[in-house]
Structure 1
């Protein structure tokens, strides 16, 4: 069969309709039309709303792992930040508590030092300011150690005062420190004067009483003493300057079978909490020595009568 007689058109099964270029032009024009129509008339808004509504559960489920990971990260970050903030706040609170306690301590020290200065102005004797270092190691005595000694001209037997009154007496002196026996020690006695009545007596340390105190001994049962009477140094011993507060009478026991009353006193000084003290020169050390007087001349003997 000659080639010219063959039908060159494709069989019906392979017919493809419009050409690809025609389709491209058609769909491009349709897309352009739909875009213009959607922009002007919002014709696809209901379709979009319906699709968004239908796809929302899928989107919500797809976002849950992301949200869980984000929340976990924020939780751990917040937990670390909270721990850091809590630690910082605890440090600041501790620092402020320390500063507050230091301010309170400094205020107390300033008040005590002011009282000491006021007491120093009342004294006409020379004094040495000192600080209590620690309590003596002997549990059977009431003594403290101060930071002044022979180098600072502290003399043996010097009275020691705090801002409230007589604290004790220097009983041992070293070059740089001194030992002070407190007024409540059983081995210490102070001549005192009852301010209300003017009666003199002797106060002895009595550590056996509650909180450690003093006792007025050898006072008659009918002696004029009352609870609350103030006892000051009498000055008759030549050691303590007169008029320094020593104690107040806290309890009186009068017994019929005894001629003497049991009189208990509370010390005015802070025997358990003193820190800043004054060491006073003993009164006997300030009394000038008597001048040397010439020996008296013996009267001439009368000449024997001739």
Structure 2
């Protein structure tokens, strides 16, 4: 019995064994991690190891990224192909519409020429133009004027209309030998005769509305005038300066005041000089029009009317 008791294992079971506490292990490994981070930052001790690991893993990363890149490339290709097909279809529709419009314009032009010949009217005036570049904006902060690089030597005359691809920008108001000053439509002193494309009613648009050169307005319009928001205004061509049919502005607001005989009509110009660099300078229409009946020729003597009256009296006697 004593022998058997001496053979018993008297060591404590694993559950009751005492070792390093968890808090001690956490503190030790935290301190080791901080030490390694500081050493890596200061002495770059792990940089060679990191370079070796990156070199070894680079082929694996590339091999794993091949399917992802192939998927992205395929998706971009399909998206681009769909967009290209849609753009082609849209371009085809626009081309067909432009072709139809060009055909109608050509037919209308031929019909117009035949009608003018039949009625013995003067042929339509051909507007001559030349390209110009905006150099800078005028220094006057209370006006909207720009300077272009064409002047007297290039044949620019005062009063020439200035346009871009969207519509009328303004008018040449001062000409120098190599440059010219253009007053924009939004200037406070600018005015232009316009025609409502919907009602064919003529009126005049004035600038300087809503601050320094921010908009236009129709003045002296009756309170019951047929003007609606969205109406497109073009040049009327009756002033002898602007060719007819050039886009000028669109109606943005119509205020009909009960106690006033006139309506307040706000306009937004279709062309803006803020993002324009190249323009076209047109020849004024008066350069091609015949002289007015009341205007005497430039080379006629000053006493031409008196001489004509004397000749008439002499013939009567």
Name the TM-score, length of structure 1 as normaliser: 0.56
Deviation at 1:266, TM superposition (A): 0.5
Note the C-alpha offset of 1:132. 1.2
Over 6 Å off, 4+ runs: 72-75, 290-294
What 5-or-longer segments of structure 1 have no aligned partner?
A: 1-66, 76-117
Judge conservation of contact 2:184–2:190 (CA < 8 Å) in 1.
Answer: yes
Instruction: State the match for 2:183 in structure 1.
Output: 181
**For the residues of structure 1 that align with 2:261 and 2:220, how far apart are their CA atoms?**
9
Q: Which residue of 1 aligns with 2:215?
A: 213
**Paired residue for 1:155, among 151, 154, 157?**
157
Give the CA RMSD over aligned residues: 3.2
Partner of 1:137: 139
Look up the match of 1:271: 273
CA contact (8 A) 1:162 1:270 kept: no
> Within 5 A, what are the aligned runs for 1:1-306?
70-71=48-49, 124-208=126-210, 212-289=214-291, 295=308, 298=312, 300-301=315-316
2:188 touches 2:213 (CA, 8 Å); kept in 1? Answer: no
1:95-115 per-residue CA deviation (whole Å, 9 max, x = no partner) reads xxxxxxxxxxxxxxxxxxxxx
The answer to whether the 8 A contact 1:157-1:282 is kept is: yes
- Provide the C-alpha distance between the structure 2 equivalents of 1:130 and 1:193, rounded to a whole number of angstroms: 27
The higher radius of gyration belongs to 1
User: In the aligned structure 1, how far is the partner of 2:209 from the partner of 2:239?
Assistant: 23
Q: Provide the secondary structure at the position in 2 that maps to 1:251.
A: strand
* TM-score (normalised: structure 2): 0.54
- Take 1:125 and 1:69, find their aligned partners in 2: how far apart are those partners? 76
Report the count of equivalent residues: 194
Distance 2:197 2:260 in 1: 26
TM-superposed CA distance for 1:124, in Å, is 1.9
CA–CA distance in structure 2, aligned partners of residues 175 and 208 of structure 1: 35
Q: Is the 8 A contact 2:143 2:212 kept in 1?
A: no
1:103-148, CA deviations, whole angstroms, 9 ceiling, x for partnerless residues? xxxxxxxxxxxxxxx9xxx982111101112211111111111111
Structure 2 unaligned spans of 5+: 1-44, 54-101, 103-123
